[in-house]
Amino acid sequence: MGRKFSKPVLIIAEVLLFIYAVSLIFPYIWVFINSFKSVPEFYSSTWSLPESFSLTNYIRALKETNMLSYFKWSIIVTLVGTALQMIFSAMTAFVLAKYKFKGNAFIYSCAIAGFLIPTTGTLAPLYVFLKNTGLFNIYGLIVMYATGMGTNMVIYYSFFKKISWSYAEAAFIDGAGHFRVFWNIMLPMAREASIAVGITSAIRIWNDYFLPSILLTNPKVQTVAVGLRSLQVQQQYNATWTVLFAAVILATLPTILLYIIFQDKISKGFLMGGLKE
């Protein structure tokens, strides 16, 4: 804890932090309140309470915007993408951490170099590649998420390094194969890494906007982030702000609820993810 703050410092800090925290929360309350208004009501006053808490905008958001389908695809992409990212990262990390072979260190440095180079610049060839392979769809997105040499690998790597090989030896003597040792013994022992990687990857994929916005061209197959963005674009053509508000609340609510429930696990996961190296 160290030295406590003096009263004035403490008050200043509290006031500033409180304003900051309110600025992070209040907009959602504002959106929530206005999501019950009709369009003319919203335009006449943005601060009044709604005349009635009618769910019209929510029904419209669900009906007119494929909101449920956005959720469906987001869940599919997040589950599959996270699972693949976890498996492939664990596989790569396990082999690199536990097996000695020529090129091992080289592959590891390739991975590190890969995520240190700024990648936005490579968009042009990526776009052409996707065009030529016809991967502008959900499969392309999954393929791009199914990496095994990113930051997740580094988290697993440091974990596997710490796990003693004697467990594996015992298993080998019992006649287990390499994969069984990996899958049944080592991976369960890296449970903490799996939780960290799983949570951070899932949140990252769930929230990702850029890749799905490029890859998912079919309006029937959209994730929540992309769907909301097109809703925002569409709103510009029919001026139904309040429906957009309802959609924003619908899209945010599940994440916020999960965050409230699993806050500690989520923070811990990100802490580990951020502290690589």
Query: Which tokens hold the place of 158?
Result: 């440091």
Q: How far is the CB of 99 from another protein (least distance, A)?
A: 6
Give the Cα separation of 89 and 171 in Å (integer). Answer: 23
Q: How far is the CB of 53 from another protein (least distance, A)?
A: 20
Q: How far is the CB of 155 from another protein (least distance, A)?
A: 14
Nearer to another protein, 191 or 259 (CB): 259
Nearer to another protein, 52 or 255 (CB): 255
Nearer to another protein, 14 or 51 (CB): 14
Nearer to another protein, 103 or 188 (CB): 103
Three-class secondary structure assignment of the chain: CCCCCCHHHHHHHHHHHHHHHHHHHHHHHHHHHHCCCCHHHHHHCCCCCCCCCCCHHHHHHHHHCCHHHHHHHHHHHHHHHHHHHHHHHHHHHHHHHHCCCCCHHHHHHHHHHHHHCCCHHHHHHHHHHHHHHCCCCHHHHHHHHCCCCCHHHHHHHHHHHHCCCHHHHHHHHCCCCHHHHHHHHHHHHCHHHHHHHHHHHHHHHHHCCHHHHHHCCCCCCCCHHHHHHHHHHHHHHHCCHHHHHHHHHHHHHHHHHHHHHHHHHHHHHHHHHHCCC
Nearer to another protein, 197 or 228 (CB): 228
Q: How far is the CB of 165 from another protein (least distance, A)?
A: 4
Nearer to another protein, 72 or 98 (CB): 98
Cα–chain-centroid distance for residue 271?
Answer: 15
Nearer to another protein, 124 or 188 (CB): 124
Q: How far is the CB of 52 from another protein (least distance, A)?
A: 18
Q: How far is the CB of 49 from another protein (least distance, A)?
A: 15
Q: How far is the CB of 132 from another protein (least distance, A)?
A: 4
